[in-house]
Amino acid sequence: MKRISLLSLPLAFFIGLSSADTITLVNGDQLHGDILELTDNFVRLHHPSLGEITIDKLNITTIAAEGAVENPTAIIAEVTEKEEGVVDNGLFGTGLMENWTRRFSLSFNGETGSTEELNADTSFNAKFSTDYERWAFNLDYGYGSENHETTENDLGAFLIRDWLDPDSPWFSFASGQYDQDKFKSWDYRLIGTVGLGYTFVKEEDYLFVGRMGLSGRQEFGSDNDDFKPEMMFGFNTDWDISETQSLEFNTATFLPFERPADSRNESSLYWRIKLDTKKGMSVKLGLENEYESVVDPGDDHNDFTYNFGIEWDLN
Domains parsed from the chain with CATH numbers: 3-83 (2.30.30.100), 92-313 (2.40.160.40)
Q: Would you give the DSSP letter of residue 148?
A: T
Q: Provide the pLDDT for residue 277.
A: 74
Q: Provide the pLDDT for residue 54.
A: 87
Q: Provide the pLDDT for residue 9.
A: 33
What is the Cα–Cα distance from 197 to 189, expressed in whole angstroms? 25
What is the Cα–Cα distance from 214 to 238, expressed in whole angstroms? 24
How many Cα atoms occupy the beta-carbon half-sphere of 281 within 13 Å?
6
Q: Provide the pLDDT for residue 114.
A: 60
What is the Cα–Cα distance from 58 to 38, expressed in whole angstroms? 13
The C-alpha angle with vertex 69 and arms to 64 and 73, in degrees rounded to 5, equals: 20
pLDDT-flagged residues of the chain (< 70): 1-20, 65-86, 110-115, 295-296, 298
What confidence tens digit (pLDDT) does each residue in 171-196 have? 999 999 999 988 887 889 999 999 99
Q: Which residues contact 156 (CB under 8 A, 6 or more apart)?
A: 138, 139, 140, 141, 177, 178, 179, 180
Q: Provide the pLDDT for residue 70.
A: 32
Q: Provide the pLDDT for residue 235.
A: 95
Q: Provide the pLDDT for residue 86.
A: 58
Q: Do the Cβ atoms of 189 and 205 come closer than 8 Å?
A: no
Q: Would you give the DSSP letter of residue 14?
A: G
Q: Would you give the DSSP letter of residue 49?
A: T
Q: Counting beta carbons within 10 angstroms of the beta carbon of residue 157, is it exposed (0 to 12), middle (13 to 18) or buried (19 or more)? A: middle
Q: Provide the pLDDT for residue 111.
A: 61
